[in-house]
Structure 1
């Protein structure tokens, strides 16, 4: 019985108490996440490229 009560309370909360974003808010948030992900990916790629070039330089030095 407790399980059914919990399910009913969860449904009621989802339907009546949760404030769902509008389509415009959802699209804006998605675009923001996409842009932030691209910026982070480019930054990580650049750092990786710099370290790669530095390691090539270090390994090419003959003592």
Structure 2
């Protein structure tokens, strides 16, 4: 159990001393960019889903008629 505690302690020490953290303004800017692209990707995925659903429904209604 001491090994786990030592590992966590060393990990936090590494994060405090050796990691270069971005400025808060950059974090906000990049968060907005990620959010916008996530929304765009979700809308594109939804659009493709709607198109394929209509195509499949049209295909099956064509077969059944």
User: What is the TM-score of this pair, normalised by structure 2?
Assistant: 0.75
Report the RMSD for the aligned CA atoms in angstroms. Answer: 1.8
Superposed structure 1 runs of 4+ greater than 6 Å apart: none
**1:1-12, aligned counterparts within 5 Å?**
3=3, 6-12=7-13
User: What is the TM-score of this pair, normalised by structure 1?
Assistant: 0.77
CA offset at residue 23 of structure 1?
A: 0.5
Distance in 2 (alpha carbons) for counterparts of 1:7 and 1:45: 42
Q: Which residue of 2 aligns with 1:56?
A: 57
CA offset at residue 27 of structure 1?
A: 0.3
Describe the shift of the 1:5–1:50 C-alpha distance in structure 2 as closer, same or farther (beyond 3 A): closer
Describe the shift of the 1:46–1:9 C-alpha distance in structure 2 as closer, same or farther (beyond 3 A): same
Describe the shift of the 1:7–1:43 C-alpha distance in structure 2 as closer, same or farther (beyond 3 A): closer
| Equivalences, count | 61
Q: Which residue of 2 aligns with 1:35?
A: 36
Where do 5+ consecutive residues of structure 1 fail to align?
A: none
